[in-house]
Chain A
Amino acid sequence: MIELEALTKRYGDFVAVDRLSASIPAGTIFGLLGPNGAGKTTTLRMIAGILEPDSGRVIIAGRDMAEEPMATRALLGFVPDRPFVYEKLTGAELLRFSAGLYGMQGETVERRIDELLELWDLGPWRDQLIESYSHGMRQKLILSSAFVHGPEVLVIDEPMVGLDPKSARLLKDLLRTYADRGGTVLVSTHTLELAEVLCDQLAIIDGGRIAVSGSLNDLQRAAESQDARLEQLFLRITRGETDSRIASVLNALR
């Protein structure tokens, strides 16, 4: 499970994440939604141990990231929002490297690498340099690298970037099965349809703070709306109705 206690991160005078707290139980898929620049990626990078919070705590499966950084990171699998990986390694080499960083090697790892590459249709590309991979293939490879060491918690920033419909469906099924088996998933996404069908719990973050959180029903209640569509709720909560602005921009272009 993931516990976030008053997490705060500033970049100079700008407060990217402001006393953010949340509790995500094991076996849950938790969706973090929010407009651009709301603080989603910064929050995820703090949970993954890439950034240190200015204040507050990140606790993963009972372990405090600040006190036991290595042991806590060992429990995590992280997928960043942009799939940058070592271009001069092959797909199989990257997964072996990734497993190695978690102290894993040998037959089990090799078998898991084969399974993951086959699962994502990357088998024929296993010995090709990553520089020749398409954007979607890189995303699939990074998702594989997050799974290769068998993490207890998955933190995924924009999971569907570049994925074709078949792979997107596969990822949804994979995450659902993973959560049903007791794993915890935290995803940040702009794809509201995905959040709707995939996530058990949702939080909308705006200005570095959680504006509202809970199940889809909870969000509807909070927005005082009977509209079943998450998109409408999202726009209402984040004050994102832009019809008049769209018209003025298009008029200016004409």
Chain B
Amino acid sequence: MSVLREYSLLLGPKCRAVRRRGSTRRDRLGRALLVIALGAAAWPFVYLTLVRFLRSLLGVEDIGSLLAFRLLALGFLAFLGILLLSNVIGALSSFFLARDLPAIRTTPVDGLSLYLARLTETMVSSSWMVLLLLVPVLAAYAGAFDAGPAFLLIAAGAAIPLLVIPAAAGSALTLLLVRVFPARRSRDILLVIGLCAVAMLVLVLRTLRPERLVDPESYRSLVGFLTALRGPSSPWLPSQWAADIVSAGLERSIDPLTWLLLWSTAAGVTTLGAILHGRLFSRCFTRAQEGDEHRVRRSAGWRRFESCLAGLDVRRRELILKDVRTFFRDTTQWSQLIILAVLVVVYVYNMRALPMSAGTTAISRFLTTLVLYLNLALTGFVVAAIAGRFVFPAFSLEGRTLWLLRSSPVPAAEILSSKFWTGAVPLTTLALLLTILTNIVLGVPAALFLLSVGSVVCLSAAFTAQALAWGVFFPVFESENAAQIPTSIGGLLFMLGALASLGVVIVGQAWALRGYLVSGLPGRAPRAVMPSEVVVALAITLLVTLTTGIVAIRAAEARMDSKR
């Protein structure tokens, strides 16, 4: 059988599984319509916002287009980093831990077919979200620069290798990691990946120093600033080549050398990956099947935690203990905490790096007020993303073990309630930590401090409830990796829903605080925020979060009962 035929045979069941996700045809149609409707709303939003921003950027004399190109390069670099990391984690599942691998290994399938099929699977599952974002971004550039229809081909020509390279490199990296680490030490592997992510993020942040880009004064001269803008930020990275191709395409020119460089790199990395796979996969796969340490010893910390829950009803306590135990014993789950820690550090660092105290003009004062206020929006976004990652999969993770809960005398409300508290307590703690730290760094006035703390508690609870409910409505029982569950359609819908409710809270609070916000504008007398404004803002937040949270939990409860 030819490699191509085997390749399509191996991918066939995966494609059909994706197509048939959803129990009935009506279910599937409903989901498809919902996704199309939400996509139709999200894409124009990203497109229009970016086009407007780019046009205003292009209005800056001499350096406008340079700024836009540099922004594109930064975006591509960020995409490349995210893609590399998610491909490394995805490859661990698709190349080594997938349930169908032992059966496939018993058949006379060619190694190259298997490699190409798994590479495609890794690439698609790791890249589709980035690709969804890339489309309106590139379209916005085309719109702002008035690029011709040929740009479509150029953009696709730059995007394809940008997705292939991290997939092939990530898969090869995973293969080498499994080769280096003895037995099934996926725990160690993911720890290394997590630490690499930390190092990579810090490195990217420190090398780019994005704050300098928007602050020309920090350069010694205008010439220095322009030189920094013109020079590629990372000339040896494929993201820069892809950005160069797109930038040239926007100016209706083509640089064949960059095209050659990007595509030959994609082909080269894939070929190298195939050679490595051919040489190492068999041995690595065997090693990945070897047993790990399975004996569990209860540490003093665990015993303390268990005794903290001693006062709870036995059903709730056992449900919470089970969720916490399975979380911390599942490498794909807890290893995400490392990335979360990096996120917090980067977030607080960015807040510190903002030139808040530098502003003495009226505009700076207004911006300062706005940043203080928008911190809540950013924290809300981070909390929603974390709820999506950790709370949304909670129901899906019950998967094939759901029979145990279903056949026992535990009501759906009790199951949801225990999952709610297991998610809400750490999420709220983290959100409070983030808010309090950033508020201290930003020097937020006491009234706004109180508002943001109150809001973030309400939002954390509401997002937990919403994530749980979306997870019940769109479970992914067949997933082999908890980290992949949030990338499902249900995860996407949760994020859109959570951001919509965050948007309502933000607009509501902006309305309540309008007097204070406007007082920062030029020509107005600055004034402090009034307690009544904070009370109204908090009331709006409470109303929105309580309503969305309660409706979500009640709907999930009804769904669980109706699905018997």
Contacts and interface: CB of A to CB of B under 8 A. Distances in A.
Interface of A: 12, 45, 48-52, 69-71, 73-74, 76, 78, 80, 82, 84-86, 88-90, 93, 96-98, 100-105, 127-129, 131-132, 145
Given A50-B564, A100-B318, A127-B296, A84 B400 contact: yes
Contacts of B315: 100-101, 103
Nearest to A50: B406
A103 B330 CA distance: 27
A88 B407 contact: no
Q: Which 10 A-B pairs have the closest CB atoms?
A: A100-B318, A84-B400, A101-B408, A132-B294, A88-B329, A52-B564, A78-B407, A70-B409, A73-B409, A74-B409
Contacts of B321: 97
A49 B297 CA distance: 35
B291 interface: yes
B408 A80 contact: no
Contact of A89 (B24, B326, B405): B326
B326 A85 contact: no
A93 B329 CA distance: 13
Contacts of A100: 314-315, 317-319
Contacts of B325: 88-89, 93
A100 B414 CA distance: 13
A51 to B, nearest CB: 6
B404 interface: yes
A48 B329 CA distance: 30
B5 interface: no
Given A50-B406, A131-B294, A70 B564 contact: no
B407 A49 contact: yes
Interface string B310-344: 00001101110110011001100000000000000
B314 A50 contact: no
8 contacts: A73-B409, A78-B407, A80-B403, A88-B330, A89-B322, A93-B322, A96-B318, A129-B295
Interface string B144-174: 0000000000000000000000000000000
B355 interface: no
B410 interface: yes
Given A84-B400, A86-B326, A100-B314, A128 B295 contact: yes
A97 B418 CA distance: 14
Interface string B403-427: 1111111110000000000000000
Contact of A127 (B295, B401, B406): B295
Interface in B283-297: 291, 294-297
B419 to A, nearest CB: 14
Which residue, of B326, B330, B406, has the highest number of chain A Cβ atoms within 10 A? Answer: B406
B408 A73 contact: yes
Contacts of B322: 86, 89, 93, 97
Contacts of A96: 318
Contacts of A45: 403
A102 B409 contact: yes
Given A88-B329, A101-B409, A78 B403 contact: yes
A49 B24 contact: no
A71 B408 contact: no
Contact of B296 (A12, A86, A90): A90
Given A103-B315, A105-B314, A50 B409 contact: no
A76 B406 CA distance: 12
Interface in B323-375: 325-326, 329-330
Nearest to A75: B409
Nearest to A73: B409
B296 A101 contact: no
A101 B294 CA distance: 25
A112 to B, nearest CB: 15
Contacts of B564: 49-52
Which residue, of A85, A97, A104, has the highest number of chain B Cβ atoms within 10 A? Answer: A97
A127 B294 CA distance: 8
B294 A104 contact: no
Which residue, of B314, B405, B411, has the highest number of chain A Cβ atoms within 10 A? Answer: B314
Contacts of B404: 85, 98, 101, 145
Nearest to B330: A88
Nearest to A81: B403
B326 A73 contact: no
A70 B411 contact: yes
B24 A12 contact: yes
Contacts of B326: 86, 88-89
